Amino acid sequence: MKGILTFMLTALLAVAASAQNKGYICTYEMTMSLGDKFDALEDGPMKDAIVEQMSKMKMYFTLTFVDGKSLFVLDEERTNNPFAGQAGHTVYIDYNARQQVSQENFFGHAFLIPEELDMPAWQLGTEQQRIADRTCSKATLADSSHTTTAWFSPETPIPAGPMGYWGLPGLIVRLEMEGATYTLSDIKVVDNPKPLNAPTKGKKMSRDEYNTLIQEKLQQMGVGMGGGGGVQVFQMGN
């Protein structure tokens, strides 16, 4: 399966390289959920109030793809979540060089995390559904803690997606993570786009160092990590 995905990714990059004067600008709407434990709570005014409040806190992101590179950033103008800027993500990927640079913002401090890309071990399914006026196929990516589901469409021949998830034979139209779902709301094809550059602002550290820092800071604040109903810290796609 990994060999098949690698072959398809190589073919996709070749298609993208043949149209270097074109760029894709994709807008995603992110909605949040509180998980199964919240869904199991008895219906009532408090639960209804929380659901209503969360429905108003939508976030929007832009994924730009140009010449074998992508940049995923928060759309601050459209996002009405007052906390979005304090925990935003910027993800730059060079698919040909297999390099990624993530800029993480944690309570007003920026961090830069460079990483090498490993081909994600997606499991392709046979299920399909219509999303954002595209026929999408299902793929899943499992790790030790949860499973991420992606719905991708070869109708847009780029191997990119939200939150640094990538490596499927077509654009990820919907990404379903634990606690959040990203859905494509708009896509534009532009001529002669500007080149994309990696973010440069922030303290450089490894992914493990950053996750350790977050864990320590949250423990100092008395906030739990995952599992026990506390805050879930999302990691990037690879």
pLDDT tens-digit map of 1-23? 566 566 566 655 655 554 457 89
Q: Which residues pair with 218 in a beta bridge?
A: none
Residues 6 or more apart from 97 whose CB is under 8 A from it? none
- Residue 104 resides in a domain: yes
Residue 145 CA to its chain's centroid (Å): 17
- Residue 238 resides in a domain: no
Rounded alpha-carbon distances, angstroms, from residue 186 to 63, 77, 196, 235: 10, 15, 20, 25
Structural domain total, the chain:
1
pLDDT tens-digit map of 58-99? 789 999 999 999 999 998 777 765 555 545 689 999 999 999
Q: What is the Rg, in whole angstroms, of the alpha carbon atoms belonging to the chain?
A: 18
pLDDT tens-digit map of 198-232? 999 999 999 999 999 988 887 887 655 444 333 34
Q: Which domain holds residue 32?
A: 2-220
For position 174, which CATH number holds? 2.50.20.10
* Statement: the pTM of the whole predicted model exceeds 0.85: no
Nearest-angstrom CA–CA distance, 95 and 168: 12
Residue 16: CA atoms inside 13 Å, Cβ hemisphere, count? Answer: 28
